[in-house]
Chains A and B, each alone.
Chain A
Amino acid sequence: QSALTQPRSVSGSLGQSVTLSCTGTSGDVGRYNYVSWYQEHPGKAPKLLIYDVTKRPSGVPDRFSGSKSGNTASLTISGLQAEDEADYSCASYAGSYTFVIFGGGTKLTVL
């Protein structure tokens, strides 16, 4: 199964909102509500931001929100802050044979 498709890079200005996309197929993103998003800063452990498409773990600011339409999931970050500059990866369950597939990651630059 191919990786999920994410834009290589996205940029936004401080205080603005950005939306990161994650496109899969009817066999993964479109079939299961098990999409998750991770934030990666260099030298740090990846951090879970969103799970089950829209749910936020405790401690994650409500500036981060997730959604899904068809085969595409989205992560919206509102009120951009400097510390949001990072790589963001999406993942989806893809069945009991493939298990989980990830996107290639999006580098977010905060201007």
Chain B
Amino acid sequence: EVPLEESGGGLVQPGGSLRLSCAASGFSVSSNHMTWLRQAPGKGLEWVSIIYANANTYYADSVKGRFTISRHNSEDTLYLQMNSLRPDDTAMYYCARARGYYDSAGIFSISFFVDWGLGTQVTVSS
């Protein structure tokens, strides 16, 4: 059983929007730090966004102001709303759980990602 399953990818024109979903099974999305990552063709993985258990959200500079991460607690589903899409957003998008550590100041350091899904392909092209 795959603990996370992404959906919602597809072909979209530049400037368009898509909403990706990530359904969790076996654990609560709201009790975990959930992330989106992506991998463009022929490129390495890239961290995109995180929503902490306390609902704080953060984004990579490359998507800030265009993407929004959210979750539906009762349905254990994570979302990524992607607006103003560009060709360089073309990638396989993955969701995963982030694990790490809090320091004495309460700042969370991401150490690693577990329970990746199989991904959903997003292609931005005219």
Task: Tell whether A pairs with B.
Answer: yes
Please report B residues at the A interface, Cβ cutoff 8 Å.
2, 4, 43-47, 50, 58, 60, 94, 96, 99-100, 107, 109-114, 116-119
Q: Does A57 contact B (CB under 8 A)?
A: yes
List chain A residues, Cβ under 8 A from B119.
Answer: 45
- The B-contacting residues of A in range 71-111, CB under 8 angstroms, are 89, 91, 93, 96, 99-105
Contact between chains at A34 and B109 (CB < 8 Å): yes
Q: Which of B43, B58, B110 has the most CB of A within 10 A?
A: B110
Contact between chains at B111 and A52 (CB < 8 Å): yes
Contact between chains at B110 and A99 (CB < 8 Å): yes
Q: Does A64 contact B (CB under 8 A)?
A: no
A89 to B47, CA, bound (A): 13
B113 CB to nearest chain A CB (Å): 7
A34 to B109, CA, bound (A): 8
- The B-contacting residues of A in range 39-71, CB under 8 angstroms, are 43-48, 51-52, 57
Partner of A104, one of B43, B50, B113, B118: B43
A36 to B99, CA, bound (A): 11
Q: Which of B45, B114, B118 has the most CB of A within 10 A?
A: B45
A85 CB to nearest chain B CB (Å): 18
Contact between chains at B45 and A93 (CB < 8 Å): no
A3 to B60, CA, bound (A): 13
A57 to B99, CA, bound (A): 12
Q: Mark A16-45, 1 if CB is under 8 A from B, else 0.
A: 000000000000000010101010000111
Partner of B58, one of A38, A45, A89, A99: A99
Known: A32-B109, A44-B118. A102 touches B45 (CB 8 A): yes
Nearest opposing residue in chain A for B49, CB measure: A99
List chain B residues, Cβ under 8 A from A3.
Answer: 44
A30 to B117, CA, bound (A): 30
* 5 A–B pairs (Cβ distance < 8 Å), ordered by A: A36-B111, A36-B113, A45-B119, A48-B112, A100-B47
Known: A36-B112, A93-B109, A100-B110. A105 touches B45 (CB 8 A): yes
A105 to B99, CA, bound (A): 21
List chain B residues, Cβ under 8 A from A91.
Answer: 45, 47, 112-113
